[in-house]
Amino acid sequence: MAQVRGINPDLYDNVEKTMAGVMKGQLKELSRIYTGYYNVKTSDRKFERIVTYTPFGDTQSKPEGEPYAMDVLRQGYTKDFTHTENGLGFEVTQTALEDDMESLLNRAGEWLAFSARYVEEGRAANPLNNGFTTETTPDGVSLFNSAHLLKGGGTAKNRPSTDADLSATSLAQAMIDTQTDQKDEAGHLAAPITSWKLVIPPALEFLADRLVNSVGLPGSADNDRNPLKSRRTWDIVVNPRLTDPDAWFLLAGNKSQHGLTFYRRVPISMEPMAIDPRTSNRIFKVRHRFSVGAWTWVGTYGTAGA
């Protein structure tokens, strides 16, 4: 469908400007959020495949003169990132362009790019929104799970045994859990993570600030210092694209310590303007290809709330 003057009366150049017309363009888009905590990488392939490996097991007791026990590196899990293609077009008549009193149509590229960025932000939020259900890691269970399967045997968790709302108690328990259950495929404990990004919906923003930035123990009249603030480094990330007002998530502050990845196969790109030879309508198009997901659960923690 082509943009004609009848769809938008402001495209007539003899219409008096109104306050509504003046206010166009005042609503600004959200700044990019996911780039602050995702591993954003450029891809030059049809899809990206991540293969993990199980490291060596523990050393064994060896009597003097006896042979060494031998071990091998084993393949762990595989995760494929298949890029999807997105695009949107805009077609406008010559007449509408000529009579566009506010140069609204000349911003077609800007508006199309806005749509593309909004889609990318929403897709980047999906692994968290669906992290307790359909978003799975290569071990076949949900991203946030109390029973991740380890190739070397046993399980590990990055979700509390009982989901809990955000509080000083639940956040402290999360710090304990991540020190005792962040393991590699052989079952070895990973180095403790001391810097975290606390990713939350807007409903938890001010509670989160009190919990991790108060000098004293939050919600207490005691003269105790706040160990959440003194023992860890925090960066609060408020993401309005999160759908559950009670869910909260922890991601390692160092992006190399977690597996949330955004592959950009083709960046947001404006195609050259085309002209329909039958009507002389101008056609604008935006296109991008990308994939997003988690190739490992390590370095993450989440709860759906009570």
Write out the chain's pLDDT in tens, 306 residues.
655 544 544 444 444 333 334 334 445 666 889 999 999 999 999 999 999 888 888 889 999 999 999 988 888 889 999 999 999 998 988 888 787 755 666 677 888 999 999 999 999 999 999 999 999 999 999 999 999 999 888 999 999 999 999 999 999 999 999 999 888 888 888 888 999 999 999 999 999 999 999 998 887 777 789 999 999 999 999 999 999 999 999 999 999 999 999 999 999 998 888 999 999 998 989 999 999 999 999 999 999 999
Which of these, 177, 172, 15, lies nearest to 100 by C-alpha position? 15
Task: State residue 179's pLDDT score.
Answer: 93
CA dist 299 and 287 (Å) reads: 33
Q: At what angle do helices 205-213 and 168-181 cross, to 10 degrees?
A: 70
Which of these, 178, 202, 204, lies nearest to 191 by C-alpha position? 178
Q: Angle at the Cα of 165 (from 162 to 166), degrees rounded to 5?
A: 125
**Helix or strand run (H / E) with residue 179:** helix 168-181
DSSP for residue 202: G
**Helix or strand run (H / E) with residue 80:** strand 74-82
